[in-house]
Structure 1
């Protein structure tokens, strides 16, 4: 059974009613368990759990230190292009927006990569819009081959591919995939994606499964917070992560928590997520998914990111720019959205250490696999 088939059993109104019906006693039972299951998640996402946030935070902290130590992996996004043919209402790259479009050449990509390398990054995320005529598999593979000697890990956040496409990416030196479903509510998904291939809800939902089948080492999922109700989206995200961990147990999973930020087009969140609910969501998913990496981006403010460090976060971006070419030439006119934490990577690193954690620039190298294959 695919995750798409499984999700058909969890209609939004029924899930939301189940979550809202949970009581304080349900929350206490969930917190008392050694290992949570999917049926425990509604209680921790419920309004009844809000008075228990401190207890949830303390348990989330203990679990994270047990599983991951006090390590925070730092990474940076490298935007290759903002060209896109999709009509996503919330995105600055949307084809609906009259903004300058730019796609980097291989030389420009290498220049951007060297800026990040010189700052200390060894894990990067290649990001593009969706424009098949400009951005194909060959372009991404060539970009990865051009810069892979600079980094220990290269992931992609691009258009969904077929399994064969992801196999091409693996051959080019890419080992990770980030793909946000945006919203797990099919009806809302259709409203938010007015045209383009991204409008295909089922195809996008199955993307992590195709990436896992292709042998990608890391897969990251998440929903765009501010579209649907965070309680329903959090439940589906947790369910999705459990499904992937069972079916692709060799793959490292991460969950991200992107909240909508100001962008060209002026889209406003339909269901704004408060900082308090943001914390509840992070803690609930850490308790459900003790071995899954939790990712926090520069969408969030410096103060909030600093305070969230002990609650289960294991990966953070730093010094991010969401515009193609923005690291080398400082032109941010083509950015996807505005970041909130504009501290330099060095500043973020110092803060992490001041809080008693270790900033990790490199925790993986493809040479590990090459040596193992040669034995």
Structure 2
């Protein structure tokens, strides 16, 4: 049984109705608990919770400090390819967009790595368009072998792989895999993913199951905020997290909150999400699960990221480039989306320290995996 079987028990429209029918009493009941149910989570993401956002933020800060202390973990994405076989309407790497495809060689990857190590990064996230032909498992085996002695932790955000392929990469030091469902609304999923392997809703949805079976250390989940109603997609993401924690309890988990950003293309978000909405989502997740890592990327503007430092987030990207070769001076390659926080890692680290928090550049050694 996979999460695809589990999710069939739930109806998108019925869940929508339940969330929007939540009352102030439901919210207060949830806020009075130490351990929340998935039904309580519905209350905290509902419109009825808006007047209680300050209280949610206070509780979120307390829980985060209890579990993680006053720390923010730094990571950085390295885009190794913009070649993709999918036609996702919201992505600059859409195969129908006209641009020169770029796949970094090992020498180019090492040049990028040198720049990132100079900035102090120890946590590296390898990102690519989804093209098994251009960047298959063999490509990532080669790149991870070349990078393993330069970074203490290597993660990937690439096309979904088979269980056996994930096992192959763990032998090269793979720590974390981020795979976002984008939306859990199966009825509309193909509208956003009309062609390519990503159009297979079930295969993508079952990827975290394959990761659990492969014994990957950490799995990152999330939905693309702006495609569908964020309240309903957030519920299904939380449901997915709960299912995975129960079934693959040795695995750790992370939740990210990517919002649609400008890109090569004309697609506009269907659902607007304010800063207060995103704050509500983050606090609701922290109250629902005090142990899960919550990550906020450079998609968000500097002021908002600075304000979120104490309110539930535990991991930040910094100094991000979303085009292949961007760190070593290649500005001509096509980016996946434009970042909103373009401050240097040192600038962001300074802000974090000013607020009394510690920047964690390294909290993992490769020998711990052996």
TM-score, normalization by structure 1: 0.97
The superposition leaves residues 265-317 of structure 1 with CA deviations (integer Å, 9 ceiling, x where unpaired) of 12100111111111111111111111000000000000000001111100000
Question: Residues 124-135 of structure 1 correspond to what in structure 2 (within 5 A)?
Answer: 124-135=124-135
Is this contact kept in 2: 1:75–1:315, CA < 8 A?
yes
Paired residues of 1:167 and 1:215 also in contact (CA < 8 A): yes
The answer as to whether partners of 1:64 and 1:312 remain within 8 angstroms in 2 is: yes
CA deviations on 1:2-32 (whole Å, 9 max, x unpaired) are 2111111121110000001010000000000
Shift of 1:53: 0.2
Secondary structure at 2:259 match in 1:
coil
Output the CA distance in 2 between the equivalents of 1:191 and 1:171.
Answer: 37
Deviation at 1:218, TM superposition (A): 1.1
1:160 lines up with 2:176 in the alignment? no
Pair 1:38-2:38 in alignment: yes
CA distance in 2, matches of 1:172, 1:206: 23
Q: How does 1:184-195 map to 2 (within 5 A)?
A: 184-195=184-195
- Matches of 1:64 and 1:27 in 2, distance apart? 20
Spell out the pairing of 1:1-375 with structure 2 (5 A cutoff).
Answer: 1-331=1-331, 333-370=333-370
Higher mean C-alpha displacement, 328-337 vs 308-317: 328-337
Query: Separation in 1 of the partners of 2:309 and 2:16?
Result: 29
Query: What is the SS of the residue equivalent to 1:75?
Result: strand
Classify the secondary structure of the residue corresponding to 1:54.
helix
Tell me how far apart the structure 2 counterparts of residues 224 and 256 of structure 1 sit (CA, whole Å). 9
Structure 1 contact 302–341 (Cα < 8 Å) conserved: yes
Does the CA-based 8 Å contact 1:79-1:325 persist in structure 2?
A: yes
Contact 1:322 1:332 in 2 (8 A): no
- Cα distance change of structure 1 residues 356 and 332 upon mapping to structure 2, 3 Å threshold: farther
Question: Secondary structure of the equivalent of 1:309?
Answer: coil
Q: CA deviation at 1:47?
A: 0.6
Helix, strand or coil at the partner of 1:167:
helix
DSSP 3-state at the match of 2:17: helix
- Residue 94 of structure 1: CA displacement? 0.6
Q: Which residue of 2 aligns with 1:373?
A: none
Q: Name the SS for the 1:154 alignment partner.
A: strand
Displacement of 1:133 in angstroms is 1.8
Contact 2:80 2:128 in 1 (8 A): yes
Moved over 4 A (4+): none
Measured on the aligned residues, the alpha-carbon RMSD in Å equals: 0.9
SS at match of 2:154: strand
Gapped regions of structure 1 (runs ≥ 5): 371-375
More moved, 1-10 vs 103-112: 1-10
Contact 2:324–2:333 (Cα < 8 Å) also in 1: no
Q: Secondary structure at the match of 2:149?
A: helix
Q: Distance in 2 between matches of 1:21 and 1:332?
A: 50
- Retained in 1: the 8 A contact 2:86–2:195? yes
Q: Secondary structure at the match of 1:79?
A: strand
